[in-house]
Homo-oligomer: A and B are copies of this chain.
Amino acid sequence: MTMAFAFIGTGPPCLCRCPQLLHRSAASLAAGRGSSACSATSKRLGYAAAAPRAAAATAEKAKAARGPKPGSDKDKRITPKSTDFSRWYLDVVRDAEMADYGPVRGTMVIRPYGYALWENVQGYLDRKFKELGVQNAYFPQLIPYSFLQKEADHVEGFAPELALVTKGGGKDLEEPLVVRPTSETIVNHMLAQWIQSYRDLPLLLNQWANVHRWELRTRPFIRTLEFLWQEGHTAHATAEEARAMARQMVDVYAEFACNAAAMPVIAGRKSRIESFAGANITYTIEAMMGDRRALQAGTSHDLGDNFARAFGTQFLNEAGDLVHPQQSSWGASTRLIGGIIMTHGDDAGLRLPPRLAPVQVVIVPILKKNTDTEAVLKAADDLAMAASSAGIRAKVDAGTEKTPGFKFSFWEMKGVPVRIEVGPRDVEQGTCVAARRDRPGKEGKQFGVPLETQGFVAAVQKLLDDVQEGLLADATAFRDANIVDVASYDELRSAIEEGKWARGPWAGSDEDEKTVKEETTATLRCIPFDQPASVGPCFLTGTPAEEVAIFAKAY
């Protein structure tokens, strides 16, 4: 190990390598001091032309390698949210080093900082799934095209966005193979062999995998040709069980969104038109982004026996009858990362919920000439070690080439929930200063935080909880201020024109729903589980309605 670190230590580590430092043994934290030049400089080059000609690159590299001058970070301010939300999002994705564009149109590279966030999302959800008795497995990615054709709605829904493998090992394939867009078909092909008796049920499976959907308009994390997700597939003896499972899993997604991602969501049922191709019912969680557009952040489907019939999946029930199992499927993807960025981010960059943040607290030693810098650096490392031993993901930014101001904005861009500043005087006084990412300037500062381990850890843990709550409170207030209850089509039109969500009594037909979409570009996001005591007549048709539905412009 020591050898290892001695070796890794060669050359100052890049500041963007948070996971690296997160996982370093306490003993090696001291070695973590380094320059952040690479992050600072490579940021602007991240989206350079796919293959820059060496010549052209040279000058830029020469400039880059000199490292930015003090304050040079000013010239790469990101687009303000209010000016252009879409450009703001792409700026943040790039400057926070979350992702980069792949060489194939619409593909994305998930960079280490973005992937570390995804690993925390995975960890949270995977634990929940396993607590519910779901087992992970892995199904082949290449699916015979004929499988998709077995379920009519399914193939109709997915055919337009399939990637096809037609050659393998230098030969043309007899049948084209579909690059998995989702796995209901191949899962059922296997279940038909595995499920024989009611004793084999329920069968609760999940896989973490990559899927491809040939989308035309793409956006990092939100809609890409390839994305990472988990897809759950379950089989049950009765329709009630399958529906209960589908409902239970959308609740799991809602709980994750609210408690881990601090994303308040509205959970509900999709309309027929918006349901999954092949499902009887689709449940969804809908989140409001910073531009007030809706993001479908996770879905769960009651598949009934649609796929079981298509694939001849049958079992003998307790009565001895041969029947089809009832199924559910459910998925959440790297789209959640985009949702977290667009829910919490501000003009300074990311704001990450502490429960998912790759770095929960960054410690910036304030080094001044003619002072005991060693004492300050030691204090910083001691705080990082104290936090790490308490299970807090901590990091020291001790580089000497950047000003504290530069570091502050760098870590604000990265959305680290809590920043600790410790300088020579602080060390003398045995205290340090804490700053919350979710509260700008003085308001978010806390002075006199003790350097003493117990007191420091307690203070940081409290701050992390406060930031988690603060982000959820901000997002919830914003959402609630932007949902309008409408009683008429005119009210809906104006709400949508104002960029808000409209919630109103709905008894319209599929055709009515399409009309609203054509005329307002708003779609029926969901019929919320949470319904008012009494519901008036349908805002569109005026006929008696039993439920309210939410309409909004969506990603």
Contact = CB atoms under 8 A, between A and B. Distances in A.
A179 B178 CA distance: 12
A19 B135 contact: yes
A110 B132 contact: no
Interface residues of A, number: 125
A192 B57 CA distance: 10
Contacts of A165: 163-166, 179
Interface string A115-149: 11011000000010011111111111111100100
Contact of A197 (B38, B195, B200): B38
Contact of A37 (B176, B197, B322): B197
A454 interface: no
Contacts of A248: 3-4, 7
Contacts of A144: 103-104
A266 interface: no
Interface centre among A54, A199, A316 (most CB of B within 10 A): A199
Contacts of A102: 139-140, 186, 190
Contacts of A20: 130, 133-135, 204
Given A100-B190, A142-B104, A142-B226, A197 B61 contact: yes
Contacts of A116: 135-136
A177 B54 contact: no
A38 B163 contact: no
A481 interface: no
A312 B57 contact: yes
A140 B104 contact: yes
B45 A322 contact: no
A62 interface: yes
Interface in A483-518: none
Interface stretch (A167-175, A288-296, A377-385, A547-555): A167-175
Contact of A210 (B50, B170, B186, B210): B210
A272 interface: no
A193 interface: yes
Given A130-B20, A139-B102, A167-B163, A61 B316 contact: yes
A20 B137 CA distance: 12
A347 interface: no
A533 interface: no
A133 B8 CA distance: 7
Ranked nearest first, the 5 interchain pairs of A and B with the lowest CB-CB distance are A169-B214, A23-B130, A65-B316, A65-B197, A112-B135
26 contacts: A7-B245, A8-B204, A12-B199, A42-B200, A48-B193, A51-B312, A52-B192, A54-B312, A57-B314, A61-B314, A61-B316, A65-B315, A67-B197, A102-B186, A109-B140, A112-B136, A116-B135, A138-B228, A140-B226, A162-B167, A164-B166, A164-B167, A165-B179, A166-B167, A209-B210, A210-B210
